[in-house]
Chains A and B, each alone.
Chain A
Amino acid sequence: MPVKRKIDWAIYAAFVVLMMLLPLVMDAFWLNRAAKYLVYGMLGVAVALSWGYAGILNLGQGLFFGAGAYMLAMSLKLASTTSLQQGSDKPVPDFMLWNAEPGAPTELCCINKASFLWLPFQSQWFGVAMGLILPVLLATILGTIVFRKRISGVFVSIITLALVLLVRLVVIDSQPVTNGFNGLTDLGWFNVAGLEFDPYIVPTYYLVAVSLSLVLVGARLLIDTRSGLILQAVRDDQNRARYLGFDVPAYQTFFFAVSAAIAGFAGMLYVIVSEFASPTFMDLTFSITMVVWAAVGGRASILGACIGAILINTISATVSETEGFAEAWKAIIGLIFVLVVLYLPRGLAGLAHDFIDRLLARKPAASPRALQVSETSSQLAE
């Protein structure tokens, strides 16, 4: 077992190193794309944690992604000089001017009834903080209600699905504060102590890559704790866990909230690399697509789900831009999904695990070598 764990960490280390080396071979355009895919990889981690480990199939993960995205986008909108100066000398977002109440002063506090909500977002770090707090808060409230009432399985999925659609409608409907269907565009750059994160520069890529590395390792360590093990026990048999004395809803709610925080974090990073936030983040198709990524990569593996997300997005980008496949690429992605579900129920990660098991079990002579390999790689990780 320890050998397997070492190999596991070695694979994590290899992934991180690979991610860090990418800027050596990619131009700015592709690097920006890669950063977006890494953000999707982070969403894969969030889905694996809640679906694979907590047994909660959240069909509304986009709600938390969207919440994180909008919170930071509000701050970055207020940091955008071009959008603030349009038709006004006061720092008010452009779309608010177009939606101003008749006769209202051109001030962020009162240009329309709800615009005061934007006031604290003048601080970028307030936006960042809210990008984590809001998803966690939503998840904790939702989780407390749902899990205390012992709602489980498909009913949780239906509730999350309904909720993300509801919030999407509210966002679209609140044109004066959210710019409705158009979302928040023309944003400023994220700024840390004078360093501006232009989406097409290498530091921005590293911001995402390092964030993803931390999330990967953090999520993996979390699973290795006693709570992580008890969570899996809860997933397998809630009642058994309850009668062993565990506070089942507390475990479900906690990990649901952690998953939401990761999704919110991903939402913020996405805003930094793509420079917009839009209600499409809360489209049903997007939330379901995330589940597909995790299923293909392997929902019971943190890294597997992450790689699944990156892989599918890379493939769909390549295929959709190949002439001749331009029309058919969605069918190809669909086909991959069907094949994986039919033949690899544990996804690519399951395939990799079986392969490692076979390598380790083949010959006694083979195992010292495997040990050596994993030891050198774990030294690498240190």
Chain B
Amino acid sequence: MAQAALTIDGLSVDFEGFKAVNGVTMTVDDGELRVLLGANGAGKTTLMDLISGKTKSTDGRVYLHDTDITNWEEHKIARAGIGRKFQIPSVFKELTVRRNLEVASCKKPGVFANLRFGFGAEAERNVDAVLELIGLIEEQDRIAAYLSHGQTQWLELGLLITQNPKIILLDEPTAGMTQAETHKTSEIVNNLKGRHTIIVVEHDMAFVREIAERITVLHLGQVLAEGNVEQIENNPKVREAYLGSKGIS
């Protein structure tokens, strides 16, 4: 059996009486691609916030491999090996595409460690490879603010790939994308399979079918079901709670 990359044990957060995430327990294996599904307010994004340190949990633990990273500061969790893509695409708008990726290629977090020039030939080669993967070679000298919505999303994916974390959290990576863009995004994500452990929050079922191996369904802050696409689509509890009686459209 594969090793667990991320272990979540009874994780809860209490917002003054409202438990947005309530005792979630799940294990994501090394190299797995896991999709988090759930209606609005099911706690998907909050769960990502808890894993990445944006929100501090009130109960439960999070382990990255064997390291307890519960409630660490965000940048320390990131350094430990968890990268995150936000729902609203966020890149460094006034820097060029290439500069964006060069920032992500800096391996050291501190200000004094980075008081030097250049990034090294290896980092530059890596940046070239990532540009190729996200299809932005032509745009590498453009200021990020002038990219299209889809390109901005890919650039942010590129930042994560350059950072090379063990686990990648993707919050609705296809939000606001055209069909063609969505397809390209799924190609990028499929390309990452195996190299990284990936957790995706997504609503777009077409996209989910293209990439998903295992799905975890959240409902009212708790785990409702877990399984592959077929099992989830046919699970009566899921149908009732999230999909309605008509099933997945």
Instruction: Give chain A's interface residues, CB within 8 Å of chain B.
Output: 1, 222, 224-227, 229-230, 232-233, 235-237, 239-248, 250-251, 254
Contact = CB atoms under 8 A, between A and B. Distances in A.
- By CB atoms of chain B within 10 A, which of A225, A226, A237, A241 has the most? A226
- By secondary structure, the A interface counts as helix
Contact of B115 (A225, A235, A247): A225
Interface in B65-88: 74-76, 78-79, 83-84, 86
A2 B169 CA distance: 37
Given A237-B92, A243-B52, A246-B109, A230 B84 contact: no
Contacts of A225: 114-117
Interface of B: 52, 74-76, 78-79, 83-84, 86, 90-95, 99-100, 102-104, 106, 109-112, 114-119, 141, 156, 159, 163
Given A240-B159, A243-B52, A244-B78, A232 B114 contact: no
A248 B91 contact: no
Contacts of B75: 242-243, 245-248
Given A239-B86, A245-B78, A245-B163, A251 B111 contact: yes
Nearest to A253: B111
B55 to A, nearest CB: 13
A226 B103 CA distance: 8
27 contacts: A226-B114, A226-B115, A226-B119, A229-B103, A232-B95, A235-B94, A236-B91, A236-B95, A237-B93, A239-B90, A240-B92, A240-B156, A240-B159, A243-B83, A243-B84, A244-B78, A244-B159, A244-B163, A245-B76, A245-B78, A247-B75, A247-B109, A247-B111, A248-B75, A251-B111, A254-B111, A254-B112
Contacts of A242: 74-75, 78
Contacts of A243: 52, 74-75, 78, 83-84, 86
A232 B143 CA distance: 13
A230 B90 contact: no
Contacts of B95: 229, 232-233, 236
A126 B156 CA distance: 50
Given A229-B102, A232-B92, 13 more contacts: A225-B116, A227-B114, A229-B103, A233-B92, A237-B92, A237-B93, A240-B156, A244-B104, A244-B159, A245-B76, A246-B75, A246-B106, A247-B75
Nearest to A232: B95
Given A1-B141, A225-B114, A244-B104, A236 B78 contact: no
B93 A236 contact: yes
Contacts of A227: 111-112, 114-115
Contacts of B90: 237, 239-240
B245 to A, nearest CB: 39
Nearest to B78: A245
- By CB atoms of chain A within 10 A, which of B52, B112, B115, B116 has the most? B115
- By CB atoms of chain A within 10 A, which of B78, B112, B116 has the most? B78
B20 to A, nearest CB: 20
Nearest to A221: B117
A235 B93 CA distance: 10
